[in-house]
């Protein structure tokens, strides 16, 4: 924290901070004046409610007189503070009149406490206690510039000296009290400047955070717009390449050409998957989350349909095995979104498994939860990657056994989709043995 004992804030913060603390000062004046007025009214009521022998304290006529002055003057501070607060809300700009008003109230409160103690005890040493309390309250409640604080201290010292002459203190006593007063005023200055520096530092941090937030929001908006535009525009050339490959397959071609065309089509499918992930990520950031409609779905048939599609894409291979101990098993899901979840997990399992390795898809019901396990016997996931596996662009993505690239956002989208279904996903993995991804969904049976 940078301290400002005799310095001002940088220009980029000074005006805004002055508007801020002037508003806070006016609120403090309104609150403090209401409390002070209430206190004096309570004292006045006590004069009438209790016997005269109790209320006739030392120097009662002077105290009675000053109490009426407090009751008459304090409401004006409350009224003007209210009006100035309304003015500041409209103009959004602090004025010199507002600063002078706050200064006058701080001086008023300290003088009231000091003078009340003097006239009730006629003992300067007792007055110093209330003097200290008044200074502490003002240092906590109000924020002043360093030059305003010095002017306040000089005025208080002059008034304190006048009161010492008023009670006709001796030279020795006056010297001692002046020394104590000087110590109190120096402490007040240091305390006041410390609170000023603390609040100024806090305000500066808030301003910087707001500015950074605005910059981040603008950057995110721009990034999402560019991402969506690029991803959308990539669809057409990829579709053209895939259509051309399909047309070439309709002709008589040799085995090598067929392999090349198959590779082209698989590459197009992977490219479309990446584009879908990018568009999904951009859409989720813009909307603040995944919003979808769900319908009651029989999970056995749903999973079997996805697996059958995968077998066709793999040319009839049977390395994806589906087993179920829950028939029927129903859940409320968005079939399009949840298909992406299963496709992504199966794609990852195949990516990190050898051609002959089995991929197991198991369905169970545990109490009120539907449990879907997708287990592979491939490379496994290093332990240091597991904690950040579902974080977007976390760097946990790896290249597959056949050189397949990873965008680093697939599993984060999977997690968001599952959580939007009121479910959760977890993973257990061991390098060289394989991985098991477990999905839990609410049972709709």
Q: What pTM value is reported for the model?
A: 0.48
Q: How far apart are CA 303 and CA 102, in angstroms?
A: 72
Tell me which long-range contacts 152-155 makes (C-beta under 8 A, separation of at least 24).
Answer: 152/103, 152/106, 152/107, 153/185, 153/188, 153/189, 155/107
In angstroms, the CA 17 to CA 198 distance is: 12
Residue 284, both tokens: 């989720």
Q: Where are the domains of the chain?
A: 11-215, 223-287, 295-442
**Which two tokens mark 253?**
């071609």
- With tokens 């939860």, the residue in question is 369
Q: How far apart are the first and last CA of the chain?
A: 60
Element holding 89 (H helix, E strand)? helix 60-91
Distance (Å, whole) CA 99 – CA 105: 10
Q: What's the fold here for domain 295-442?
A: Heat Shock Protein 90 (3.30.565)
Whole-number pLDDT of residue 236: 76
d(C-alpha 168, C-alpha 111), whole Å: 18
Residue from 116, 110, 130 nearest 43 by CA: 116
Residues 6+ apart with CB under 8 A from 294: 332, 333, 334, 421
CA atoms of 309 and 338, how far apart (whole Å): 15
pLDDT in tens, the chain (445 residues): 566 666 666 676 778 888 888 898 999 999 999 998 998 898 888 777 766 555 555 555 667 778 888 899 999 999 999 999 999 989 888 888 998 999 899 888 888 877 776 665 555 555 566 677 777 778 878 888 878 888 888 887 887 777 777 666 667 766 777 787 777 778 888 888 777 777 777 777 788 888 888 888 888 777 777 776 776 677 778 888 888 888 887 887 888 888 788 778 777 877 777 777 667 666 666 555 555 688 999 999 999 988 888 887 766 666 889 999 888 889 999 888 898 899 889 988 888 888 788 899 999 998 789 999 999 988 888 888 888 888 876 555 555 555 555 556 778 888 988 998 999 999 999 888 899 999 999 998 7
Quote the Cα angle for 339-345-350, to 5°: 120
**By C-alpha distance, which of 334, 332, 348 is closest to 412?**
348
Which H/E stretch holds residue 442?
strand 434-442
Q: Residue written as tokens 């879908």?
A: 276
């Amino acid at each position: 924290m940078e301290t400002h004992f005799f310095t001002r804030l940088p220009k980029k913060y000074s005006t805004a901070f002055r508007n801020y603390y002037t508003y806070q000062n006016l609120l403090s004046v309104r609150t403090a004046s209401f409390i002070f007025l209430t206190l004096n009214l309570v004292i006045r009521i006590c004069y009438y409610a209790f016997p005269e022998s109790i209320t006739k304290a030392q120097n009662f006529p002077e105290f009675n007189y000053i109490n009426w002055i407090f009751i008459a003057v304090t409401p004006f501070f409350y009224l003007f503070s209210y009006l100035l607060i309304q003015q500041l809300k409209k103009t959004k700009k602090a004025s010199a009149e507002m600063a002078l008003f706050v200064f006058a109230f701080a001086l008023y409160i300290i003088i009231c406490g000091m003078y009340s103690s003097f006239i009730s005890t006629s003992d300067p040493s007792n007055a110093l206690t209330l003097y200290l309390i008044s200074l502490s309250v003002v240092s906590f409640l109000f924020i002043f510039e360093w030059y305003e604080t010095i002017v306040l201290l000089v005025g208080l010292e002059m008034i304190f000296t006048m009161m010492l002459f008023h009670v006709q203190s001796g030279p020795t006593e006056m010297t001692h009290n002046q020394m104590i007063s000087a110590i109190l005023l120096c402490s007040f200055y240091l305390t006041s400047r410390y609170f000023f520096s603390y609040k100024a530092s806090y305000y500066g941090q808030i301003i910087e955070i707001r500015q950074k937030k605005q910059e981040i929001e603008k950057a995110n908006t721009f990034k999402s717009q560019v991402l969506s535009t690029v991803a959308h525009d990539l669809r057409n050339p990829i579709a053209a390449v895939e259509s051309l490959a399909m047309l070439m397959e309709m002709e008589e071609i040799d085995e090598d050409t067929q392999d090349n065309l198959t590779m082209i089509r698989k590459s197009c499918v992977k490219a479309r998957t990446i584009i879908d992930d990018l568009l999904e990520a951009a859409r989720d950031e813009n909307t603040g989350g995944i919003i979808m409609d769900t319908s009651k779905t029989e999970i056995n048939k749903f999973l079997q349909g996805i697996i059958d599609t995968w077998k066709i894409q793999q040319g009839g291979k049977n390395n994806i095995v589906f087993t179920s101990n829950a028939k029927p098993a129903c859940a409320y899901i968005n079939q399009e979104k949840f298909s992406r979840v299963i496709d992504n997990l199966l794609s990852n399992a195949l990516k990190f498994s050898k051609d002959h390795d089995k991929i197991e898809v198991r369905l169970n019901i545990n109490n009120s939860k539907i449990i879907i396990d997708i287990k592979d016997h491939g490379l496994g996931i290093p332990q240091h990657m597991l904690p950040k596996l579902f974080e977007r662009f976390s760097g946990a993505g790896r290249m597959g056994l056949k050189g397949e690239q990873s965008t680093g956002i697939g599993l984060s989208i999977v997690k968001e989709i599952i959580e939007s279904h009121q479910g959760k996903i977890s993973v257990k993995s061991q390098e060289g043995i394989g991985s098991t991804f477990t999905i839990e969904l609410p049972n709709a049976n």
